[in-house]
């Protein structure tokens, strides 16, 4: 497959971080003869995503009524581009000041600025009918006997990407800051999780230990509850449960809160049982995935653990980098050196 000379003239496009599913989508359309060259299709895809990404990245920090306005815009991009402020507010069933507050919170100067950018991007990405004919990510991916074997990697990838986008949408900067401050100031961090979520509990434990933070996790559910009962107001308890209904994890968090500890909960559902006992609540999404629970719940939890890890490092960079360097010296002897590896191969 030969690319046009425009491909080489626009190599700067490839310096832009682009998701793997987006690449698949572009390559698929190019291969199937969509009008336009490779670079034009890629530019359209990038531009089309900008408005949506800006709204989703600031979504978690919006008030309830502002989220209602944002949801309407995300679901009706074409109508929003042609609507006056009063018409959009009426369609979204919110007040005009609510729409303006929402746009300000997302970084727009005002309604005119927002409409200008939206119209410009829609003009480059085509009509709503054309967008709907494009391949849509499968959110809540399930497998049946008639599914194409070769399509599984793509569908799994776009499903995971959608869940990660939902996580970002629901994780506000204010909550992020609270989590980092709570963990870095804790006398002791207790971590609870069972079954699939225990994998992430151990991952979080490992990362916090590398950073020199005092923390613990017990695989035994009875020990988790006993440990939770010994916490004080200087401690932090972290409960990880995708469903929010795992009885052992809920009971441990409940016991920790009763003991006076500050509680951080990572779950998928805001109205779940475990959420009642959270001082700081992190919701990865509001969508229920049944068959894919074991797979996709880990994806969002891995992301959150890594976000927390990087946030702690950023909060006191010099201190935590020095701590990581000390840990690196400890584990260095646990790996084969290049010389030893070469000798072993001989």
Window from 117-121, 148-152, 247-251 with minimum mean pLDDT: 148-152
Report yes or no: 24 and 157 within 8 Å, Cβ to Cβ: yes
Give per-residue pLDDT as tens, 107-120.
888 888 888 788 77
Report yes or no: 284 and 243 within 8 Å, Cβ to Cβ: no
Q: CA 131, 137, 142, 146 torsion: positive or negative?
A: positive
Residue 2, classed as helix, strand or coil, is coil
Window from 18-27, 157-166, 261-270 with minimum mean pLDDT: 18-27
Give CA–CA dist 17/58, Å, rounded.
19
What confidence category does residue 283 fall into, taking pLDDT thresholds of 50, 70 and 90? confident
> What are the structural domains, with CATH classification, of the chain?
19-136 (1.10.10.10), 168-332 (3.40.50.10490)
Q: What is the reported pTM?
A: 0.60
Q: For the chain, how far is it from start to end, CA to CA, in angstroms?
A: 42
Q: What is the DSSP letter of 135?
A: P
């Amino acid at each position: 497959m030969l690319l046009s000379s425009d491909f080489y003239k626009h190599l700067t496009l490839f310096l832009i971080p682009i998701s793997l599913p987006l690449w698949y989508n572009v390559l698929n359309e190019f291969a199937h003869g969509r009008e336009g060259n490779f670079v034009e299709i890629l530019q359209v895809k990038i531009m089309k995503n900008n408005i949506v990404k800006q709204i989703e990245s600031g979504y978690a920090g919006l008030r309830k009524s502002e989220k209602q306005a944002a949801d309407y815009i995300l679901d009706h991009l074409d109508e929003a581009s042609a609507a006056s402020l009063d018409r959009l507010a009426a369609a979204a069933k919110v007040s005009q000041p609510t729409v303006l507050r929402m746009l300000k919170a997302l970084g727009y100067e005002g309604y005119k600025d927002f409409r200008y950018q939206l119209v410009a991007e829609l003009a480059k990405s085509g009509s709503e009918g054309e967008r709907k004919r494009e391949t849509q990510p499968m959110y809540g991916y399930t497998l049946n006997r008639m599914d194409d074997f070769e399509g599984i990697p793509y569908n799994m990838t776009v499903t995971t990407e959608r869940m990660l986008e939902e996580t970002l949408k629901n994780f506000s900067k204010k909550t992020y800051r609270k989590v980092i401050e709570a963990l870095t100031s804790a006398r002791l961090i207790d971590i609870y999780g069972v079954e699939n979520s225990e994998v992430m509990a151990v991952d979080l434990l490992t990362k916090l230990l590398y950073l020199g933070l005092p923390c613990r996790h017990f695989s035994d559910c009875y020990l988790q509850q006993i440990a939770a009962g010994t916490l004080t107001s200087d401690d932090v308890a972290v409960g990880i449960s995708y469903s929010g209904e795992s009885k052992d994890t809920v009971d441990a968090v409940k016991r920790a809160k009763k003991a006076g500890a500050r509680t951080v909960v990572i779950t998928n559902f805001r109205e779940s049982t475990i959420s009642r006992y959270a001082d700081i609540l992190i919701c990865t999404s509001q969508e229920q995935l049944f068959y894919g629970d074991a797979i996709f719940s880990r994806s969002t939890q891995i992301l959150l653990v890594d976000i927390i890890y990087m946030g702690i490092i950023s909060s006191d960079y010099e201190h935590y980098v020095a701590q990581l360097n000390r840990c690196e010296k400890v584990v260095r002897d646990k790996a084969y050196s290049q010389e030893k590896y070469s000798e072993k191969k001989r």
